[in-house]
Structure 1
């Protein structure tokens, strides 16, 4: 495992120049029972998925009162980012906009434009690179700018704002450190009378076709997760003083049965481990930045029920959430992207990005054709529960 240290950047009032606003971009989620079906229709717009199929996913929300926890978690993350920026002496508006529910991205950008912003730096709640975790956000930003342009009377084809996006940050030191902290804390909660737990790194499954397309980014979605898993397992082993046996597993599959998705499913894997004699596990949801619906339902409800049925002692590790290393790392990424933009504008080389693990930092500006979704592929209700896959 290699570690590339961050470039030292002196935080000043203009450290984010040329950007004059930050956009925290997320998936969105319903706020109550009446929002659930309209939200799911937004998520699956253009896919021809009938309401009967969406109703199955809707039950996940109704199980929790119809509201997704992602909204409160995004507000908490936004507040943490504002505090960390202020701690460094940086005063910049931090907006919040969603792809699929209020507050919508276009509305946030329209407000930014009205307040005088012209260059916006976007930070998405997806650490990994894939169609749904990266490219779809870029496509969404484009369509949102078109919408804002129509509202403000911009010349067709000319956008009233510029948006740049922070690179995929799965292997940034802040993300890995926060994930390691969560795993170490979970092992402290394990039953001391049980066997040393096996570690299951969990992320959102995606169709195999999306996995293949993600390789254009430099490493596939699965390879990105394996890199993070190795880094966290190695760091946690050093801190715990005992070796960790681990696996990468998936949750939240939602496509048609005939379409291959990444496996094994966490519930299937729990059964296989039990059959092989495993009696204790820690589940670490490294594919998600907060404890939203996939975590609350697919892990805390379904996977925990599977473990209990099998008699396997299970502890679920926390997500990176608003942990200090993660928030600090996000602000480092904002500063890194701003420095890269200034360098590129001056005809210089991009600023080197800080990383942990075997993979290099992903590009700030994606390669042509990166993570393109194959036409006609049904990704089902991918991430329909509340957030991006490995988001």
Structure 2
């Protein structure tokens, strides 16, 4: 990309997953999420109950609004004059509506920040497919949209997670902190999906970098998974957080910090699977638990995203990344994170 190309961006697009904000939103939202996926309706209705437990309100939209306001302030302080738009994959504001508004506002080229730090079909390629489909719906005149690079090993993302986890340790009773384990969690994905991307490798690297910054030895932390869905017979990434907690109990562990580093903001999965289900298991086994917050609008994370924007508009030549893998690519290869969603078998007559 030439220096002249780097100056042509005229907007930022925040692309998120989306979430319901009232009870009546829940089923239409989940139908959007699961369209074309082999997930039984019974499982969808089971997940709907998780949302109803919180009166149908997911925290994700409110947290994205908070992040956008923080990013606006950070860009203004850096004298970067780019408007920020917001479009969701699965609920309002939906991507086609946002891209239509961008077209009407005269936006010709935008940089997309996708609220996912790791490479996978569901965490990157599907976002790009949704962007392409939405742009095709808008038609001629839709802005060209490029994505920011993955940031799982950016020092700002690592520092924000370190700060969140350190605060979680501080919420433990003093006598529970010294030997507390850390369970880093991420959304489980099918093994067939993980085999075609760097999801696990990137997560393991992020966890290692965070643990090193906290001076936590390898025997006191583990990457585990949560929120498995799909068909029961399909292999997904393991171990599950609930199973891991039971294993820790069998080893005599009495205190645990759960750090959802696989998430940028508090999805329903974080609130229900960790704050409710994992907490219940810990209480039953008399394990003292503290859940770290997601990075959300942490100042160092907001500054991380501003740095990625600066890279692409020519304000910054250094592409910061720590650890063994270096900075991720700006433009995804054609075969990046390829995955074919299994088709649901036809219903029996």
Verify same fold: TM over 0.5.
Answer: yes
Contact 2:112–2:146 at 8 Å: present in 1 too?
yes
Per-residue deviation at 1:245? 1.4
Contact 2:150–2:328 at 8 Å: present in 1 too?
yes
CA distance in 2 between counterparts of 1:42 and 1:147 reads: 17
Contact 1:121–1:164 at 8 Å: present in 2 too?
yes
Per-residue deviation at 1:352? 5.2
Q: 1:274 to 1:377 in 2, by over 3 A?
A: farther
Q: Match of 2:296, SS?
A: coil
Residue in structure 1 matched with residue 260 of structure 2 by the alignment: 285
Deviations 1:228-263 (A, max 9, x none): 01100011118xxx8871100110001211100000
Residue in structure 1 matched with residue 213 of structure 2 by the alignment: 235
Q: 1:243 to 1:267 in 2, by over 3 A?
A: closer
1:362 correspondence with 2:328: yes
| Correspondences of 1:1-391 after superposition (within 5 Å) | 17-47=7-37, 49-149=39-139, 154=140, 160-194=142-176, 196-214=179-197, 220-237=198-215, 245-339=220-314, 353-376=319-342
Per-residue deviation at 1:265? 0.3
Per-residue deviation at 1:338? 2.6
Q: How many residues align?
A: 340
CA distance in 2 between counterparts of 1:66 and 1:30 reads: 6
Residue in structure 2 matched with residue 383 of structure 1 by the alignment: none
Contact 1:31–1:68 at 8 Å: present in 2 too?
yes
Per-residue deviation at 1:335? 1.2
CA distance in 1 between counterparts of 2:133 and 2:221 reads: 41
Q: 1:182 to 1:377 in 2, by over 3 A?
A: farther
In the alignment, structure 1 segments of 5+ residues that lack a partner are 1-13, 215-219, 341-349, 379-391
CA distance in 1 between counterparts of 2:229 and 2:331 reads: 30
Q: Match of 2:90, SS?
A: coil
CA distance in 2 between counterparts of 1:15 and 1:365 reads: 14
CA distance in 2 between counterparts of 1:51 and 1:234 reads: 43
CA distance in 2 between counterparts of 1:145 and 1:98 reads: 13
Q: 1:65 to 1:16 in 2, by over 3 A?
A: farther
Deviations 1:165-194 (A, max 9, x none): 001111111100100111111111222233
Residue in structure 2 matched with residue 387 of structure 1 by the alignment: none
Higher RCO, 1 or 2 (CA under 8 Å, sep at least 6)?
Answer: 1
Q: TM-score, normalised by structure 1?
A: 0.83
Q: Match of 1:168, SS?
A: coil
Contact 2:19–2:91 at 8 Å: present in 1 too?
yes
**CA RMSD after TM alignment:** 2.0
Deviations 1:326-364 (A, max 9, x none): 000000011112339xxxxxxxxx955210211121111
Provide runs of 4+ in structure 1 moved above 6 Å. Answer: none
Q: 1:249 to 1:317 in 2, by over 3 A?
A: same
Q: Match of 1:213, SS?
A: coil
Per-residue deviation at 1:375? 4.8
Per-residue deviation at 1:276? 1.0
Per-residue deviation at 1:127? 0.6
Deviations 1:28-61 (A, max 9, x none): 0111111100111111112354533311010010
Q: TM-score, normalised by structure 2?
A: 0.93
In the alignment, structure 2 segments of 5+ residues that lack a partner are 345-349
